Structure formats: structure tokens, C-alpha cells
Amino acid sequence: FGNIVTFRDLEQDTVDAISLFGDKNTKNVVLEKSYTEQLQGFTDAVTGEERRGFAEIVAELCTRFPDPDAIEKEADKKAFVKLFGEYLKAENILQNYDEFAQLKAFAKIDATDEAAVEAFKAEHFLTDEDLAALREIELPDERKLQDYRSTYNDIREWKRVQDAAKRIEKPKVDWDDVVFEVELLKSQEFTLDYILELVFEHSRRSSDKQGLVEEVRRTLRASLGNRAKEGLMVDFINRTDLQALKDKDEVMDAFYTYARERRDEEVETLIEEEQLNTAAAKRFIRASLKRELVSENGTDLSEALPKMSPLHPAYVTKKQSVFQKIVAFVEKFKGIGGEL
């Protein structure tokens, strides 16, 4: 995939070419809507459905949920998940437009700084009209987006626990029409190495660990794959003399060394507390870390459990308890490398 660069307006020629192999509505199926339509909304020519624009979605998100941490009622949780999911889908489409890249870049500069604004105009070849259009659209800042993602992940986890409990009573709120946009969240993931680079950059600017911890917590909570490492990362920051580490590589080496030591300690604690078969438990956990997934299929988990008849009333409860603890362990320590 790549960009086809041309200075000719080929839109009508493209529409004519598509029409040769279809009817007058074929272009509405084949061609993506314009940036303006994606931003302001449009009517689907095929279904007749009104599609909201990105600007309206953002305005409602910021108005209805200015503080995502304050969302408590189940109805509000559902409403937020649906609205933020709509935001994620609209944003994902807009990533294909150069104009949206300009909008995000403009949101990062100080709009009251005339020199910065003029430099931005020159860099992006914008007219005064283009700049005025950019000023009309307010994007949530990066911190607010991280808070939104964090709350979205929290509600997803809360819903998973609620579903796993298999409550007998009829739920007060029907979630059947809600889809968590997990793949879209994954496409925006921060890697662990990126977060460690943030740690290094912050430690170079300031020795204030409290501010660093707050920034790291916010970033990790917004991450689908690394949020379980929040406690591990915070402990590393608090116990490490970051100022003594000379570069990013040293920060990464120090963290991974610390994380592996903690992994080895905690696996011993887990085995001892649950009275597991040491060899079988380590074999099962080692394989799960390698796959980055814990599975109940097969007999490996059962072999790791204390000797107990599967017919014993406590067997299923014990198995589920151990399984959930191993899941939490793997989520916390997956991706840190080394051999258990």
C-alpha cells in the first residue's frame, strides 16, 4: 500500500470509470466519503441512514463525559462504551486523510502563539480559511484520550467479571447491542519499550518521581496489553535511581532485569500458597508466558494442581481459583523475556 501522488483532479474520471462496471450508485460503495463528509456527517446513499460526523461525536463525548472517572451507573457505563466506540471507529477512518493528520498536529501547538501558528501554516501550506476551519474543531487532548481509553478498558474488564459471575437475576441494563472495539484499541497500543522511553525522558527533565508515576499510570491504564504491568512499573520507578541510568538502553535493561527477578519470586510464592506441583506448575506457566495466553484445555493445568479427586466438591473451585491467578500472573509478566 502507498500514496498515489498526482496534481490532477481525477475524481470525476474515477467516478466515470467505476460507473462503466456498475450503476450510478456504485461509486457510493467503492469510494470513501470525503474528509468534510466524515467530519460533518452524511447520508448513506445505499441505506439512507444518517451518519454522524466526527465533530459531532467529539462534541457529545466531551459534553456528556467530561470526567470519565465519575462514571458509576451501569446505564452511564453502557452509554459511554457505545459513544467512545463510535469515536474509535470514526477516528480510525479519518486516519487515512492528510487533513486529519494536520488537525492532530495543529492541536499540539499553542494556538495563541502567533509565531507558532504562522510556522504551522507555512509548513502545511495552509490558507487563512484552512486555518479557520482547523480552529473550529476541538479535539480531546492526549491526556483526556488516555483517561477515556482507561475508563473504556475498566468497563470492559468490569463487564467481563459480571458475565463470568453468571448472575441468575435479570440484568438491569441490556448490553446485547454493545460491542467493545478491542481491535481498534490494539491498533493504538503503546509498546512497553515506548513507555520505558517515557520514563527515561521524564527522568532527564525532572527528578520528581510522583509526577512520573502519575504519567506512567495514565499511559498504562489506557493500554489494553500492558495495563496489568502498572504495579510492576511503579515499583520499578520507586525503587530505582533513574538519574544514575545514562541512556534509554540502561533504563530498559534495568526494568527487564527487575521484572524477571520479580517474576521468579512471585511464581515461587504462587506455587507455595496454592500448594501446586512445582515442576508441572512451572511447565504450565512457562508455556503460557511463551504463548502470552493461559488455556484450560488439556491436562496441563490439572497436573499442576494439588492432588485431589476431580469428583471432590472443592476441585472445580480450586481449579478456577488457580487458573485466574495464573492468568493475572501471565498478564503481568508476559513480554519481559528471559527463561522462567
Residue range 283-334, pLDDT digits in tens: 999 999 999 999 988 899 999 999 888 888 888 899 999 999 999 999 999 9
211-268 pLDDT tens trace: 999 999 999 999 988 999 999 999 999 999 999 999 999 999 999 999 999 999 999 9
331 three-state secondary structure:
helix
pLDDT of residue 154: 94
Q: Which whole-number Å values give the CA distances from 339 to 235, 261, 278, 287, in the listed order?
A: 22, 11, 16, 11
Select from 283, 273, 277 the least CA-distant residue to 304.
Answer: 277
pLDDT at 1 over 60: no
pLDDT of residue 6: 62
Cα separation, 121 vs 134, whole angstroms = 11
Q: Which of 21-25, 44-48, 268-272 has the highest mean pLDDT?
A: 268-272
Q: Which whole-number Å values give the CA distances from 93 to 5, 11, 331, in the listed order?
A: 20, 19, 30
pLDDT of residue 173: 85
Cα separation, 203 vs 210, whole angstroms = 11
For cell 453468571, what's the residue?
166
The beta strand positions in 201-312, using DSSP E, are none
pLDDT of residue 18: 56
